[in-house]
Amino acid sequence: MTTPIIAILRGLTPPEALPIARALIEAGITRIEVPLNSPDPLDSIALMVDEFGDRATIGAGTVLTPDDVQRVADIGGRLIVSPNTDPEVIRETRRLEMESWPGVFTATECFSAIAAGATGLKLFPADQAGTVALKALGAVLPRGVAVYAVGGVGPANFAEWLRAGARGFGIGSALYKPGDSTDSVSARAAEMVAALAAAS
């Protein structure tokens, strides 16, 4: 089963794309997004899709417009992650048969995202919302809706978030920061996967 982690590779550059993606995939992390405010993000995504598209779900984060969604689809991306809930972005993502993970913080945003067709919900920033908020949301959200916690989550609190109802996590700088070596990313990815397995 796929590890329920979305790797957030903010600041990734095209020369790093393949070795970093390979390290993540070999560790068991097979959902990868490159935020669109990274250097040449579409180039990085295209490289990863060409090399690993049959082994991983690869796409973009910080996606704010339907035009951005189309650009990611044009290069074979299959994953769209946003910091906000924009029904137009969600609908365009689903129209193009891609996964849609919009950012939510309130019940209103959650239900707006679900109505627009979101694949799952990204509780962001999770450390500001807290596990109490996630438990409250879980009481009213449809049972099948997956909520991933993003922001301030990691091995130290995986178990707490899972108990509160999180189905997975988005992990950024705890996995990759610009300039990190492939070996360090590989080691952190393996540790993250093991920690999540232990907490589950």
Q: Is 71 exposed, middle or buried (0-12, 13-18, 19+ CB in 10 A)?
A: middle
Catalytic residues: 33, 122
**How big is the CA angle at 159 (ends 157 and 165), to the nearest 5 degrees?**
110
Distance separating alpha carbons of residues 153 and 14, to the nearest angstrom: 27
The conformation of residue 151, written as its DSSP 8-state character, comes to S
How much is the CA Rg of the chain, to the nearest whole Å?
16
